[in-house]
């Protein structure tokens, strides 16, 4: 049965969200849910997304990579690099080269053991090693965003996953060049490095230019809607131009995001938040596609051995390499111990490189009817599935261990989670309506309350006296001896309830130009609390600092 | 907005709401003034005013001393702040003023609940006027409501 592209997108996004919801219930990162749904509806499952649909959906993947790259770049603030640039570079080289060496040597030995073909084994080892060095920024960063992570580890993870694609591309270019020489294919060493240089430098230049252009244009954009549209337009252009000129979409978009955040930090931060929300369905589809295009057909048993070693070797290489890189660069112990755990995800770059290797090495036969290109594509596909299931979970583990989960919160986030009852003074001191004004002044001076409920003999609240309403009484001291609280109280404007969301209550108070109000029990009319904006803001600040781990 | 004492008094009091009375008790004079205010066209619910005035008295007497009573209340059935004055032919012993002296001059003030500032200001102005002995004597010796009215106005 043929499914139209819109129906496929609908099934993908809707199914992905259901999968994410299910996995979140199991406390597993949502990205695994997206990929699992992709597997179910993709080529290895129900076949709703078939082989023919993959090329049609590829533009969405590129667009998603542009969004992801841009948002990852948006996290790369210059001040972080000035502080930890040496450490992050050391770690990136350590983890990339660690995986390259361990996977390269190990898989070369396995291939030699199986095939007995030394040049092909060396070539395979080099390509596997290079591909294994890439870390998937998309799923890694998705976990960090999902759990609102913030801190040194989070910053380190974002920086390293953003940078190591360039290392992976360089290692791949070196690896395939040497591999080509080893297996006797026609490889032009200079041409390969020239094209690599063009890809890396061109991507960076295009990205910087795009970021600078967006920053300049945003100055003239008065509405957030128009700014968002402008940004989406630029990202479409980045993706389109990158593909046309064989540049790296994600590197280019990262460069654009990094340029924007460093050129116009105040203007771009709220815009990046809006873009992140806007990009959500595009991500979902991207990860569903990752799952859908994985083909887990019948493979020889030894290939599964190679897959198992690749996963274990890459994991060990990344972790050990991170530790060594962090030690050498004098990184804080937190980075030495935990950063490696967050670098296991493998995604678009690895799969893309394996596809290229599949073409480069398709003529190298390793066994009867099995060429090296097919071995690389099959193995990387299978390892991507396994690592994409392990990677996000280990990112979550690392940020849990370092206590960085939930720290990336804003004041608005805190307010959105609270109700009036969470910040109100639930034990208000009341005034009796028969209390003399002189006693009222005494109570104001001895309690930290900006207003007092006035209650009658049954305890029902019949009015309120605020510090503002008392101001007019300061000069009328001759009436203090015979005026009562009930004489000067004002009626309560019942606009806020304890169950009301805090954001709504604060907006209501602003509209009324009120600073405080009394909350009453609807049945007894007894005062149950005082909601005052000054204390509410104090509570919000406390909660924010606590959540941010300050 | 808080208005000046003269302005407040002019707005709240008219010569038609100044009375020379011959009541025998606090309850009677309060009832008399409630009825008079009720008839001036600014009170929609006279019973509510009656209840509010007497409830306030039950909390604490409005006899503020020196022979003066200032019963007062704010209720939503009053359209604007109004004042009535009664000068009784004899001091009322049962007023339970804070200085225990009998009360002979009574100012009844009725306002809306949202008029807190002007209400307090008017009460303070009245208190200030009657604290001066010459003013009290002039009010007590006046032979007509018009004369009392002019005395109060001139005292401001």
> Is the predicted pLDDT of residue A130 greater than 70, yes or no?
yes
Name the residue facing B59 among A434, A473, A476 (closest C-beta). Answer: A434
* Residues A397-421 pLDDT 10s: 999 998 888 887 888 888 888 999 9
- Please determine, looking at this structure, whether the domain spanning A59-280+301-407 carries the CATH number 3.40.190.10: no
Flag if B116 and A482 touch (Cβ within 8 Å). no
Report CA-CA distances (Å) from B1 to A437, A464, A485, B76, B118. Answer: 22, 19, 21, 19, 8
Which residue of B98, B116, B132 to mutate against A (max A Cβ within 10 Å)? B116
- Mean of the per-residue pLDDT values for chain A? 84
- Mean of the per-residue pLDDT values for chain B? 92
pLDDT band at A274 (very low <50, low <70, confident <90, very high): confident
> Is the predicted pLDDT of residue A24 greater than 80, yes or no?
no
Name the residue facing A490 among B64, B113, B124 (closest C-beta). Answer: B113
Residues with Cβ within 8 Å of A231's Cβ and at least 6 positions away in sequence, in order, are: A70, A214, A271, A275
> Is the predicted pLDDT of residue B3 greater than 80, yes or no?
no
Flag if A488 and B56 touch (Cβ within 8 Å). no
Closest chain B C-alpha to A467 CA, distance in angstroms: 13
pLDDT value of position A298: 59
Closest chain B C-alpha to A461 CA, distance in angstroms: 15
Residues with Cβ within 8 Å of A107's Cβ and at least 6 positions away in sequence, in order, are: A124, A125, A128, A129, A306, A309, A310, A313
> Which of the two residues, A243 and A83, has the higher pLDDT score?
A243
pLDDT value of position A318: 94
| Contact assessment for residue A42 and residue A294, using Cβ atoms and an 8 Å cutoff | yes
Question: What CATH number should be reported for the domain whose range is A414-547?
Answer: 3.10.580.10
Flag if B128 and A478 touch (Cβ within 8 Å). yes
- If you measure CA to CA, which chain B residue comes closest to A486? B56
- The winner for highest mean pLDDT among A47-61, A279-293, A318-332, B4-18 is A318-332
CB neighbour burial string for A286-295, b if at least 16 within 10 angstroms, e if fewer: bbbbbbbbbe
pLDDT band at A127 (very low <50, low <70, confident <90, very high): confident
Flag if A488 and B116 touch (Cβ within 8 Å). yes
SS3 state at A478:
helix
* Residues A451-470 pLDDT 10s: 899 999 899 999 999 887 77
Flag if A472 and B116 touch (Cβ within 8 Å). yes
Domain limits, chain A? 59-280+301-407, 414-547
pLDDT band at B30 (very low <50, low <70, confident <90, very high): very high
Flag if B59 and A483 touch (Cβ within 8 Å). no
pLDDT value of position A187: 55
pLDDT value of position A548: 73
* Number of cross-chain residue pairs from A and B with Cβ atoms under 8 Å apart: 53
pLDDT value of position A395: 93
Q: Which domains does chain B have, with CATH numbers?
A: 5-155 (3.40.930.10)
pLDDT value of position A2: 62
Q: Phi and psi at residue A368, in whole multiples of 5°?
A: -60, 115
* Residues A315-368 pLDDT 10s: 999 999 999 999 999 888 988 999 999 999 887 677 767 777 776 677 777 777
pLDDT value of position A294: 67
Q: Between residues 459 and 478 of chain A, which touch chain B (CB distance below 8 Å)?
A: 463, 469, 472-473, 476, 478
Closest chain A C-alpha to B72 CA, distance in angstroms: 8
pLDDT band at B45 (very low <50, low <70, confident <90, very high): very high
Q: Report H helices in A184-223.
A: 189-218
Dihedral sign, Cα of residue A351, residue A353, residue A356, residue A357: negative
C-alpha span between A164 and A187 (Å, rounded): 25
pLDDT band at B96 (very low <50, low <70, confident <90, very high): very high
Q: Which residue has the tokens 């193995």?
A: A379
Percent pLDDT > 90 in chain A is: 23
Flag if B124 and A476 touch (Cβ within 8 Å). yes
Give the start-end residues of each E strand in A128-191.
Answer: none
pLDDT value of position A39: 82
pLDDT value of position A185: 58
Mean pLDDT computed over A525-549:
85
* Residues A80-96 pLDDT 10s: 777 778 888 899 999 99
C-alpha span between A21 and B75 (Å, rounded): 56
pLDDT value of position A359: 67
Lowest mean pLDDT among A155-159, A188-192, B65-69, B101-105: A188-192
| Contact assessment for residue A380 and residue A131, using Cβ atoms and an 8 Å cutoff | yes
Name the residue facing A472 among B72, B120, B127 (closest C-beta). Answer: B120
């Amino acid at each position: 049965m043929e499914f139209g592209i819109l129906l496929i997108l609908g099934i993908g996004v809707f199914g992905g969200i259901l999968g994410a919801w299910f996995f979140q219930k199991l406390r597993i990162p949502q990205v695994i849910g997206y990929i699992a749904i992709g597997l179910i509806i993709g080529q290895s499952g129900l076949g709703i997304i078939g082989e023919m649909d993959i090329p049609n959906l590829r533009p969405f993947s590129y667009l998603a990579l542009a969004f992801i790259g841009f948002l990852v770049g948006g996290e790369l603030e210059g001040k972080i690099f000035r502080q930890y640039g040496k450490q992050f570079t050391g770690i990136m080289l350590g983890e990339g080269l660690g995986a390259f060496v361990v996977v390269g040597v190990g898989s070369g030995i396995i291939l030699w053991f199986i095939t007995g073909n030394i040049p092909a084994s060396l070539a395979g080892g080099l390509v596997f090693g290079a591909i294994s060095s890439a870390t998937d920024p998309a799923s890694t960063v998705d976990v960090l965003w999902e759990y609102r992570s913030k801190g040194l580890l989070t910053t380190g993870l974002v920086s390293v996953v953003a940078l190591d694609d360039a290392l992976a591309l360089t290692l791949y270019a070196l690896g395939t060049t040497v591999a080509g020489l080893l297996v006797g294919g026609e490889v032009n060493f200079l041409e390969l490095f020239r094209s690599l240089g063009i890809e890396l430098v061109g991507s960076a230049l295009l990205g910087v230019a795009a970021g600078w252009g967006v920053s300049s244009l945003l100055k003239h954009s008065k509405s957030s809607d128009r700014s968002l549209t402008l940004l989406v337009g630029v990202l479409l252009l980045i993706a389109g131009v990158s593909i046309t000129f064989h540049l790296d979409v994600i590197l280019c978009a990262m460069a654009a995001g990094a340029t924007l955040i460093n050129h116009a930090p105040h203007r771009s931060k709220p815009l990046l938040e809006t873009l992140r929300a806007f990009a959500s369905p595009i991500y979902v589809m991207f990860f569903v596609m990752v799952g859908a295009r994985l083909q887990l057909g019948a493979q020889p048993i030894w290939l599964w051995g190679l897959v198992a070693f690749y996963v274990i070797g890459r994991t060990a290489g990344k972790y050990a390499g991170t530790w060594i890189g962090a030690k050498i660069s004098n990184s804080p112990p937190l980075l030495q111990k935990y950063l490696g755990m967050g670098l296991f995800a493998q995604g678009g770059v690895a799969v893309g490189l394996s596809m290229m290797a599949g073409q480069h090495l398709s003529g190298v036969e390793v066994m009867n009817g099995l060429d090296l290109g097919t071995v690389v594509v099959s193995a990387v596909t299978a390892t991507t599935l396994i690592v994409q299931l392990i990677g996000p979970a280990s990112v979550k583990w690392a940020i849990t261990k370092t206590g960085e989960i939930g720290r990336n919160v804003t004041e608005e986030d805190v307010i959105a989670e609270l109700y009036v009852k969470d910040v109100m003074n639930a034990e208000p001191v009341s005034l009796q309506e028969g209390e003399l004004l002189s006693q009222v002044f005494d109570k104001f001076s001895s309690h930290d309350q900006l207003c007092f409920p006035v209650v009658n003999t049954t305890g029902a609240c019949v009015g309120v006296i605020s510090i503002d309403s008392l101001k007019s009484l300061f000069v009328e001291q001759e009436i203090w001896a015979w005026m009562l609280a009930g004489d000067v109280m004002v009626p309560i404007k019942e606009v806020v309830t304890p169950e009301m969301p805090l954001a709504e209550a604060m907006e209501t108070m602003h509209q009324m130009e009120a600073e405080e109000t009394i909350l009453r029990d609807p049945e007894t009319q007894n005062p149950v609390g005082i909601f005052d904006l000054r204390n509410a803001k104090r509570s919000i600040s406390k909660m924010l600092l606590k959540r941010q781990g300050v | 907005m808080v208005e000046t004492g003269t302005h407040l008094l002019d707005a709240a009091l008219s010569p038609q709401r100044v009375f020379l009375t011959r009541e025998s008790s606090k309850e009677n004079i309060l009832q008399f003034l409630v009825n008079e205010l009720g008839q001036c066209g600014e009170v929609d619910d006279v019973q509510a005013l009656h209840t509010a005035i007497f409830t306030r008295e039950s909390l604490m007497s409005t006899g503020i001393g020196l022979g003066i009573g200032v019963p007062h209340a704010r209720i939503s059935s009053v359209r604007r702040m109004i004042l009535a004055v009664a000068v009784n032919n004899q001091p009322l012993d049962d007023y339970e003023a804070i200085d225990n002296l009998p009360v002979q001059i009574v100012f009844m003030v009725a306002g809306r609940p949202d008029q807190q500032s002007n209400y307090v200001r008017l009460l303070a102005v009245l208190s200030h006027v009657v604290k001066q002995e010459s003013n009290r004597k002039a009010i007590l010796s006046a032979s007509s409501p018009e004369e009392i009215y002019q005395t109060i106005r001139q005292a401001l």
